[in-house]
Amino acid sequence: MQLKDKVAYITGSASGIGKEIAILFAQEGAKIIIADLNKEAADATAAELKATGALAIGVGVDVTNEDQVNASVEEGAAAFGGIDILISNAGIQIVHPVEEFSFADWKKMLAIHLDGAFLTTKACLKHMYAQGRGGSVIYMGSVHSKEASLLKAPYVTAKHGLIGLAKTVAKEGAKHGVRANVICPGFVRTPLVEKQIPEQARTLGISEQEVIKNVMLKETVDGEFTTTEDVARVALLFAGFPTNALTGQSLVVSHGWFMQ
Ligand code: NAD
C-alpha cells in the first residue's frame, strides 16, 4: 500500500485516465475524491470504489469555475481530513486548423486545461502547506506538452503551459515538501480519443483506420496505444515518491512516440 491514508483529489476522474488512476490509488490505500463535471458519473465511480472497500466521494465541479473548485476541494478535505495529492486531469479536445479555430473554442480549451490546473492547484496547495505533511501535484500533460500535431493549436499550447506551471509549483512548494510533476501520455483509447478519430478522418480526408495507423500511432515503436493502466502506474510513481528528488519533471509514456 504505497498511498495508505493519503487523500487524492482527482479531476476528470469519472472517465478514462482519471478513473483508472482513482482505481489504482484506491487499491494502494488512498481516500479518493472523484471530482468531475458529470456529477452523476462521479457519484457512480465513487460507488464503484466503495463497493471494493475503498473510501471515496463524488463531487461535481467545473474546473474553470473558481467557486466550484474551492467548494469541492473544501468538501473533499472536510470528508477525509485534508488533501495530499492533486491530479489535475480534466480535459477535452477540439480540433481545427488555426485559421478556422473560433476564439471562443480557443478560450474554452485554455480555460479547462490551464485555468483548471491553476485553480485546483491553488485550492489544494492551501491544504498541503497548512497540513505540513508535504504533498504531490500531478498534471496530466501529453506528448503534446513536448511536440505539436496538426489541428491542435490550443491543446498543444495548454499542454506545453502545464510544464511551466509544474516547474514553478515545484520551486515554490519545495520548502513545504510539495512536489509537482507532469505525465505526458501518447494516445490512449478513452472517449476523448474515440471522438477524435472520425473528426480527424473528416478534416484530413482519410479513413478512420488511416487516422489510427498513420496519424495517431505512426511514430510509436510498435504501433500500440498507451493504456489507462500505463498512465496510472506513472501517476503512482509520482504520487508515492517520498522526497523532493523527483520534482519539476515531465515523463513521457507513449510507446516511444516521443523520445527525449
Ligand atoms: P475522458 O474524456 O475519458 O475523461 C475526461 C473527464 O474530464 C470526463 O469525465 C469529463 O466529464 C471531465 N471534464 C471535462 N471537462 C471538465 C470540466 N470543465 N470540469 C471538470 N471535469 C471535466 O478523457 P481522457 O482521455 O481520460 O483525458 C484525461 C486527460 O488526459 C485530459 O487532460 C487529456 O488531455 C489527457 N490526455 C489524454 C490522452 C488520450 O489519448 N486519451 C493523451 C494524453 C493526455
Average pLDDT over the chain, rounded to an integer: 97
The cell numbers describing 144, all together, are: 503534446
DSSP for 67-92 reads HHHHHHHHHHHHHHTS--EEEE----
Q: Where are the domains positioned within the chain?
A: 7-187+227-253
Helix, strand and coil in the chain, % to nearest 5 = 50, 15, 30
Q: Which CATH superfamily is domain 7-187+227-253 in?
A: NAD(P)-binding Rossmann-like Domain (3.40.50.720)
203 pLDDT tier (thresholds 50, 70, 90): confident
Q: How many Å separate Cα 129 from the centre of its chain?
A: 22
To test ligand 1's pocket by mutation, which of 190, 197, 220 has the most ligand atoms within 8 angstroms of CB? 190
What are the CB-based long-range contacts (under 8 Å, 24+) for 103-110?
105/154, 106/153, 106/154, 109/154, 109/155, 109/158, 110/154, 110/157, 110/158
Query: Cα–Cα distance between 142 and 229 in angstroms, integer?
Result: 15
What residues flank ligand 1, with Cβ below 6 Å? 11-12, 14-18, 36-38, 61-64, 89-92, 112, 140, 142, 185, 187-188, 190-193
200 pLDDT tier (thresholds 50, 70, 90): confident
Instruction: Find the 248 Cα to ligand 1 centroid distance in Å.
Output: 22
Residue range 228-253, pLDDT digits in tens:
999 999 999 999 999 999 999 999 99
pTM: 0.98
142 pLDDT tier (thresholds 50, 70, 90): very high
Q: What are the residue numbers of the active site? A: 155
